[in-house]
């Protein structure tokens, strides 16, 4: 049986994951190693979100240029 490919995450899914990471980082009794891991995950998610938005912006620009 072939392996299923994971479909790309939506903006909402990525944003939700980032919110969960931020909430976990705000916990008072968080271990330093866990905090560092969460920070790295949050940074990666933020970069993914920025790239997602940049792609959408580029698509909109391209569409508007074709309408002129």
Q: Among 4-8, 14-18, 37-41, 45-49, which is the least confidently predicted range?
A: 4-8
Tell me: pLDDT of 4 over 60.
Answer: no
pLDDT bracket for residue 5 (50, 70, 90): low
In terms of phi and psi (left: phi > 0; alpha: psi -120 to 50; beta: otherwise), the region of 51 is: alpha
pLDDT bracket for residue 11 (50, 70, 90): very high
Q: Among 23-27, 34-38, 63-67, which is the least confidently predicted range?
A: 63-67
Give the DSSP letter string of 7-53. PPPPHHHHHHHHHHHHHHHT-TT--HHHHHHHHHHHHHHHHHHHHHH
HSE-CB for 10 with a 13 A CA cutoff: 3
User: Looking at residues 25-41, what average pLDDT do you find?
Assistant: 95
């Amino acid at each position: 049986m072939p392996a299923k490919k994971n479909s790309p995450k939506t903006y909402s899914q990525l944003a939700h994951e980032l919110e969960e990471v931020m909430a976990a980082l705000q916990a008072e009794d968080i271990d330093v190693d866990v905090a560092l891991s969460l920070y790295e995950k949050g940074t990666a998610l933020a970069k993914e979100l920025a790239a997602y938005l940049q792609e959408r912006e580029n698509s909109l620009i391209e569409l508007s240029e074709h309408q002129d």
